[in-house]
Homo-oligomer: A and B are copies of this chain.
Amino acid sequence: MKKTFAVGIDFGATQIKIGMVNPEGKVLSRKVIATPRDISPLEFGKTAKREISHIISDSGKSGKCVGVGIGVPGLVQFDKGVVLYLVNVKGWKKVPLAALLSREVGLPVWVDNDVNAMTLGEFTYGAGRGGKNIVCLTLGTGVGGGIILNGEIYRGTSYAAGEIGHIVIQEQGRECACGGKGCLEAYIGNRQIMVLGKGRYGSPKEISDAARKGDLVAAAIWKEVGTHLGVALSSVINLLNPEKIVIGGGVANAGTFLFNEVHETVRKRAMKGPADSVKIVKAQLGEDAGIIGAAVLAGIK
């Protein structure tokens, strides 16, 4: 039988990553390019077409490409393949991206929100494997979320479900960029973590490194971040009773400093039944999660 693969594209505001992914979820070849400033849909289509043929020919592998999946940083009408808008990339309004790229490359194309794609990747090949009800978080500049229920991604009524970063943890809390108040993201977004460091550290990674070397201030920062995150996850656990919560993104690299506090907070605050039946684990696919998840969208498995 001829080998199959899919192309996964992780379209970020700063980088576009393109990969060939096989049915085992392995990335056979990949390419990363800087995202041109305010790239237009047409320009994206041309770029994607060119880079897809490059990575396929460069890989030296032959096989049948089942399709192309794209994860984008914005709101997507999944069943129509239409990008309603992008965050941090101007000029994308109701763009029929699946149809546009499908015409260019002559393959079926699927488009979804980037965190949904990452969630599908972890669910199919990563830390969420074998589960049915999974919640995925990505901790970075913002706090993104994706939800798998009964084995399928749950997108909500207007494709906006999964905004775990905008679960309220403080009724009288600080203003959030979303226009609300007291949202999780307003406490544990990258910038807020740096504020907790009071200028001592250059990045969340430095705080993690310092904590590992015994820096008590750094450890205390992760304890505070872990408490806020644990409170929001207690709400998620009481509401959705998931079997697994998968945490990815740069901040997840704080490792046990962060995870211990999350576990402890959930143990103390979530209801016993759902708390006992949930595992909170680190994402496994790292930087490739977006590419692999996009390939899942395209039906590689």
A-to-B contact residues, CB < 8 Å: 75, 132-133, 145, 147, 149-150, 152, 154-164, 166-172, 178-183, 227-228, 231-232, 234-236, 238-243, 268-274, 276-278
In the complex, the answer to whether B238 meets A171 with C-beta atoms within 8 Å is no
Closest 8 CB pairs of A and B: A156-B241, A161-B241, A166-B238, A163-B238, A157-B243, A158-B277, A180-B269, A167-B235
Q: Do A178 and B231 have beta carbons less than 8 Å apart?
A: no
- In the complex where A168-B234, A179-B271 touch, is A149 in contact with B154 (Cβ < 8 A)? yes
Shortest Cβ distance from A297 into chain B, in angstroms?
18
CB contacts (< 8 Å) of A150 on chain B: these are: 152, 154
Given contacts A179-B271, A180-B234, contact A240 B156 (CB under 8 A): yes
A171 touches B241 (CB 8 A): no
Closest residue on chain B to residue A152 by CB atoms:
B150
Q: Show 9 A/B contacts (Cβ-Cβ < 8 Å), sorted by A.
A: A149-B149, A157-B278, A158-B273, A160-B241, A161-B274, A166-B270, A167-B238, A168-B169, A170-B172
Query: A1: shortest Cβ distance to chain B, in Å?
Result: 34
A196 to chain B, nearest CB (A): 15
Q: Could you tell me the distance in whole angstroms from the C-beta of A36 to the nearest C-beta in chain B?
A: 27
How many whole Å from A133's CB to the nearest CB in chain B?
Answer: 5
Contact partners of A178 in chain B: CB under 8 A: 271
Q: Are A236 and B234 in contact (CB under 8 A)?
A: no
Residues from chain B with a CB closer than 8 A to the CB of A234 are 166, 168, 180
Closest to A75 in B: B273
Q: Assess whether A163 is in contact with B269, with CB atoms less than 8 Å apart.
A: no
Closest to A135 in B: B239
In contact, B161 and A231 (Cβ under 8 angstroms):
no
Shortest Cβ distance from A116 into chain B, in angstroms? 12
Chain B residues, Cβ within 8 Å of A133: 156-157
**Contact present for B277 and A157 (CB under 8 Å):** yes
> Counting chain B CB atoms within 10 Å of each CB, which of A164, A235, A276 scores highest?
A235
Pair A161/B228 contact, Cβ less than 8 Å:
no
- In the complex with contacts A239-B162, A242-B157, A269-B181 CB distance below 8 A: yes
A167 to B276, CA, bound (A): 17
Complex Cα spacing A157 to B243, Å: 6
* B contact residues around A147 at 8 Å (CB): 239
| Given A149-B149, A271-B166; A231-B160 close (CB under 8 Å) | no
Docked-complex contact A239 and B167, CB < 8 angstroms: yes
Which chain B positions have C-beta within 8 A of A270? 166, 180
Asked if B274 and A156 make an inter-chain contact with CB atoms under 8 angstroms apart, the answer reads yes
Complex Cα gap A123–B235 (Å): 24
A71 to chain B, nearest CB (A): 18
Cβ-defined partner of A274 (8 Å) among B158, B231, B278? B158
What is the distance, in angstroms, from A93's C-beta to the closest C-beta of chain B? 14
